[in-house]
Amino acid sequence: MTAVTSPETSEAGAPGTRRPRARGRNRGLNWNALLWVLPALVAYAFFDLYPLTQTIRYSFYNWDGIGAATSAGFGNYVAVFTNPEQFASILHAFVLIFFFTVIPVGLGLVVAAIIRDQKAGPFATFTKTVLFLPQVLPLAAAGLIWTWIFSPNGMLNGFLRAVGLGSLAQDWLGGFHTALPAVGIIGSWVSLGFCTVLLLAGIGKIDGSLYEAVRLDGANRIQEFFAITLPGLRSEIIVASTVTTIAALSSFDVIYISTSGGPGYATTVPGLEIYRLTFVSQQVGSASALAVVLSILILAIVLPLQRLGKQS
């Protein structure tokens, strides 16, 4: 007598039997996943995508934020590159990249290499604590502290007078040629701790046997740094450069507290200029165009950096 096989037996039975597809179950899992991410998607769309689309829309109008808007075409975008104040703000932001990115990453590499040589001694612990302290402080507080240091009667000028260099003392944040570098030094101080700690974490992942191998070949500290440490920190350097570059181009807090963009427009940056155009001059269209240009510039710099990091 031939045994009758039930559908349940056939489903998990002999080879060649075809299992029915659990379409309903898979579809339910997809809907459940969508429900989990739906709150985040709604928040992202409301707080990010919607303001972004509105900013792009406003950039094509002349609008004071209250009355009727009139079409401006690409006039606001042309003004970004022809208006001296707006274009200067972009140039100043690129200058700050040197202070916010190049100096902290370069010094961070040196300091991280020195701390690595000290292993876990008290010097290394103290240095990491002091360097990372600016990351704990709000940027507004950092700007206020350095405003006191750079003031005519501040700590820097007091030190110069004490060592017999009083002729160099000046109002560092009030001079047209010294204000932007002085603000940049604040950015370097703030970024150095982040870069150092990040690079130290990267050094900790490098295989110690590589250092032993180059030492057996007779390499000194400098040759060891360029042969092992620097190539091994490529990913960390990309991350640090990306974060600090974005901070330089979108800087606002430190400059607003320390100089408010002055003297004149010597330290005006896009973030501060957008604030002025929107809330002081009521030129919402011009501010929106500058914001869009700034976003494009950030992407134009950050995306190649990210691509370079993926190739490492």
User: Token pair of 204, please?
Assistant: 């900790």
Range 242-252 average pLDDT: 93
Let me know: does 83 contact 304? Beta carbons within 8 Å: no
Q: Residue 1: pLDDT band by 50, 70, 90 thresholds?
A: very low
Query: Average model confidence (pLDDT) for the chain?
Result: 86
Is the residue at 98 inside a domain? Answer: yes
Range of the domain at 181: 93-267
Q: Count structural domains, the chain.
A: 1
Is the residue at 230 inside a domain? Answer: yes
Q: Residue 14: pLDDT band by 50, 70, 90 thresholds?
A: low
The closest of 90, 147, 41, 135 to 271, measured between CA atoms, is 90
Within 8 A by CB and 6+ apart from 9, the residues are none
Please check the confidence at residue 22 and state whether its pLDDT lies above 60: no
The closest of 81, 93, 96, 92 to 286, measured between CA atoms, is 81
Peptide bond into 304 cis (omega under 30): no
Let me know: does 276 contact 261? Beta carbons within 8 Å: yes
Q: What is the pLDDT of residues 73-116, one digit of tens each?
A: 999 999 999 999 999 999 999 999 999 999 999 999 998 888 87
- Tracing tokens 């181009």 back to the chain, one arrives at 249
Residue 125: the pLDDT is 73
Is the residue at 104 inside a domain? Answer: yes
The closest of 298, 284, 309 to 96, measured between CA atoms, is 298
Is the residue at 82 inside a domain? Answer: no
Range 203-228 average pLDDT: 87
CA pseudo-torsion sign 100, 106, 109, 111: negative
The pTM for the full model equals: 0.83
Output DSSP code: residue 19: P
| Cα dihedral 251→257→259→260 (10° resolution) | 80
Please check the confidence at residue 7 and state whether its pLDDT lies above 80: no
**What CATH number is attached to the domain comprising 253?**
1.10.3720.10
The closest of 82, 76, 182, 189 to 137, measured between CA atoms, is 189
